[in-house]
Amino acid sequence: MPYKYETHMHTSQGSDCSSTPGAEMVRRLYDLGYSGCFITDHFFGGNTAVRGELASYDWEVRVRLFCQGYEDAREMGEKLGFKVFFGLEYARSATEFLTYGVTPEFLIDHPETADMPLDRYAALVHDNGGFVVHAHPFREADYIRTIRLFPHAVDGVEIYNCNNRDEYNSRAKWYAESYGIPVTGGSDSHHFWCHPCGGIITEERLESPSDYLRLMREGKLKIAERDHSKDLPEPQNPWAQTVRPSIDRLPKEVYGKFFGGEKR
């Protein structure tokens, strides 16, 4: 029996461009028949939701705020019997690396990830047991000034991004093939009502992120193409109920450590 996993998705607690909290994103994927997902919110060099006053806090607090969408998603996943893995989308000058196989603790331990060149970041992730996939390498948009490729730093290339134009995806495929880089795909979804049903289809259950890497290397992933037929009607004001990260949701000991005393 094949399994389906989302490899590229956002939550409103981690990503400023997402309107849907982690738990709701997971509930929707579960209803669509997925077995699991990787939460890949925009980290601090990208369109993160940890901004404004939140961005001025200590590094550990910022990382914990960044992870609230994932925590929320994982909790819902546990209730449903749906696998939720941690990930992130790391950006420098709008070039983005999806990152898997690392943990929130890895980020807490490495404040230098706030600002690293992409090749050095990839090396640090590799040293800590993780891997990186170049997200939509040929996307063109106002926020992307330059197309930059790192064929010797990445473990995979996203050759099918449901939010991309087909020509950008076919260039990504051409790039990956010419260097022999393993390939994958993802939805890049940001809102519960509009999930294009992308991601990967596997013949075996993913027990850990390294299973994903292995299947990618073995060429055993089937990439799901976009299908918007199951979209729901867009809510009247999708941003009205958006949940953003909050220091009030920090674990008690963390709150006490950085802000002293009881929670507000």
Report the residue number whose CB is nearest to Zn ion. 17
- The secondary structure of residue 237, as a DSSP letter, is S
Is residue 94 within the footprint of Zn ion (CB under 5 A)? Answer: no
Is residue 188 within the footprint of Zn ion (CB under 5 A)? Answer: yes
Q: Which stretch binds Zn ion (CB under 5 A): 20-28, 41-49, 144-152, 235-243?
A: 41-49
Q: Which of residues 115-144 bind Zn ion (CB under 5 A)?
A: none
Q: How far is the CB of 135 from Zn ion (least distance, A)?
A: 6
Q: Which stretch binds Zn ion (CB under 5 A): 26-34, 59-67, 84-92, 203-211?
A: 84-92
CB contact at 8 A, 19 and 242: yes
Q: Which residues of 233-260 are buried (b: 16+ CB within 10 A; e: fewer)?
A: eeeeebeeeebbbebeebeeeebeeeee
Number of amino acids touching Zn ion (CB under 5 A): 4
Q: Which is nearer to Zn ion, 143 or 179 (CB)?
A: 143
Is residue 6 within the footprint of Zn ion (CB under 5 A)? Answer: no
Is residue 17 within the footprint of Zn ion (CB under 5 A)? Answer: yes
Q: Which of residues 221-260 bind Zn ion (CB under 5 A)?
A: none
Q: Exposure of 54 by Cβ count < 10 A (0-12 exposed, 13-18 middle, 19+ buried)?
A: middle
Q: Which is nearer to Zn ion, 17 or 254 (CB)?
A: 17
Q: Which is nearer to Zn ion, 66 or 255 (CB)?
A: 66
* Cα 203 from Cα 226, distance rounded (Å): 20
Contact positions vs Zn ion (CB under 5 A): 17, 47, 89, 188
